[in-house]
């Protein structure tokens, strides 16, 4: 056994260390592990954020649908007043927002922005309730229709008519006045790209023509000009109300809405919106109306 020069007579211990190559290999392995952990963390964060976004949209969309469902079910007729509008719905008279569907589906998704109005009653108090999609800043439905998206608003009048019986014909006129409407409007949900209303008879058949009685005005699908194969206009009066009302509501995810609002150019903004069909959550429900006069639907 060799002796060390610093300590004569003692055995010399050989000292081993890591070579440069070994250190580089370890650093490379640790880098791969760290990058994998970061990627997994980022993916988990994305999934968590997406889940929160979907939960927010689902909760707000369901809340809006439940509110409209509850109020629509209480719709009433005004059988003594031929001028009273009991139910009104109309699709905005502009070209719908088209969103191509994934896959080889040649038919794009057509998004419409409608408005509706209906009557309810509590004893001698008549209420006119309306919903429409308007611009987020002004509530203007025309601007929202041109943009392809907007905010769902709710309107309600609480006027008590002293006459006996009470006459509710003024309520739709108040709703139709934009200045009056904006003074009483409340925001319900932002980022709405689709709001469609359909009326059905007691047999569950979609109403596409005037009813048997003269107290209805329905623009048949054969005459639709911008909303092809849709009823663009409903107007029921007097004792006529739909037996069922079907609602469709399409809402953008919040992150997509924020990105949309950050785009200054309107053409670029609409082009971006057209490609976001996968970021739209659609809610649909059919509401039965309790106070239906069956004679309205018989000739």
> Are the CB atoms for 233 and 92 separated by under 8 Å?
no
Q: Any residues with CB less than 8 A from the CB of 66 and at least 6 apart, and which?
A: none
Gap between the Cα atoms of 130 and 162, Å rounded: 23
Beta strands across the sheet bearing 114-122: 216-218, 233-237, 85-91, 114-122, 125-134, 150-157, 186-200, 244-252, 280-288
Higher pLDDT, 52 or 168: 168
Angstrom distances, CA of residue 177 to CA of 14, 130, 171, 183, 233: 97, 12, 10, 10, 18
pLDDT tens track for 75-129: 999 888 888 999 999 999 999 999 998 877 788 999 999 999 999 988 778 899 9
Gap between the Cα atoms of 122 and 34, Å rounded: 66
Half-sphere CA count of 22, side-chain side, radius 13 A: 4
* The predicted structure's pLDDT at residue 17: 64
pLDDT(7) > 70: no
Gap between the Cα atoms of 113 and 142, Å rounded: 10
Q: Model pTM?
A: 0.80
In the chain, % of residues over pLDDT 90: 52
**What is the arithmetic mean of pLDDT over 117-143?**
91
> Are the CB atoms for 121 and 127 separated by under 8 Å?
yes
Gap between the Cα atoms of 284 and 268, Å rounded: 29
Q: Which two tokens stand for residue 97?
A: 């927002």
Q: Where are the beta strands (DSSP E) in 242-279?
A: 244-252
* 150 backbone dihedrals φ, ψ, rounded to 5°: 180, -160
Tally of CB atoms within 10 A around 175:
23
pLDDT(4) > 70: no
* The predicted structure's pLDDT at residue 198: 97
pLDDT category at 190 given cuts 50, 70, 90 is: very high
- Determine the longest span between alpha carbons in the chain, in angstroms: 126
* The predicted structure's pLDDT at residue 8: 57
Gap between the Cα atoms of 224 and 220, Å rounded: 7
Q: Which of 280, 286, 288, 285 has the alpha carbon at shortest distance from 58?
A: 280
Q: Which helix (H) or strand (E) holds 90?
A: strand 85-91
Q: Which two tokens stand for residue 133?
A: 């999609």
Q: Which two tokens stand for residue 43?
A: 């993916």
Gap between the Cα atoms of 289 and 292, Å rounded: 7
> Are the CB atoms for 62 and 247 separated by under 8 Å?
no
């Amino acid at each position: 056994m060799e002796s060390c020069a610093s300590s004569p007579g003692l055995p010399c211990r050989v000292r081993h260390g890591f070579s440069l190559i070994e250190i580089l290999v370890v650093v490379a392995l640790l880098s791969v592990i760290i990058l994998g952990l970061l990627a997994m963390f980022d993916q988990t964060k994305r999934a968590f954020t997406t889940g929160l976004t979907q939960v927010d949209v689902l909760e707000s969309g369901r809340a809006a649908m439940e509110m409209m469902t509850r109020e629509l079910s209480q719709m009433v007729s005004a059988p003594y007043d031929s001028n009273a509008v009991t139910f009104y719905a109309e699709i905005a008279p502009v070209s719908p927002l088209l969103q191509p569907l994934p896959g080889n589906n040649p038919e794009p998704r057509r998004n419409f922005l409608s408005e509706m109005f209906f009557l309810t009653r509590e004893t001698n108090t008549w209420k006119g309730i309306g919903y429409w999609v308007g611009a987020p800043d002004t509530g203007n439905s025309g601007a929202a229709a041109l943009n392809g998206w907007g905010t769902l608003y709710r309107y309600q009048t609480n006027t008590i008519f002293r006459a006996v019986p009470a006459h509710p014909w003024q309520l739709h006129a108040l709703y139709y006045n934009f200045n009056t409407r904006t003074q009483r409007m409340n925001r319900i949900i932002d980022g709405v790209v689709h709001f469609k209303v359909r009326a059905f008879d007691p047999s569950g058949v979609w109403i596409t023509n005037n009813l048997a009685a003269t107290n209805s005005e329905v623009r048949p699908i054969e005459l639709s000009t911008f909303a092809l194969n849709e009823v663009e206009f409903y107007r029921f009066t007097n004792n006529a109300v739909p037996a069922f009302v079907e609602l469709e509501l399409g809402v953008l995810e919040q992150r997509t809405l924020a990105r949309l609002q950050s785009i200054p150019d309107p053409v670029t903004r609409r082009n971006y919106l057209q490609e976001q069909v996968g970021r739209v959550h659609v809610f649909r429900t059919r509401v039965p109306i309790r106070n239906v006069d069956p004679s309205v639907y018989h000739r």
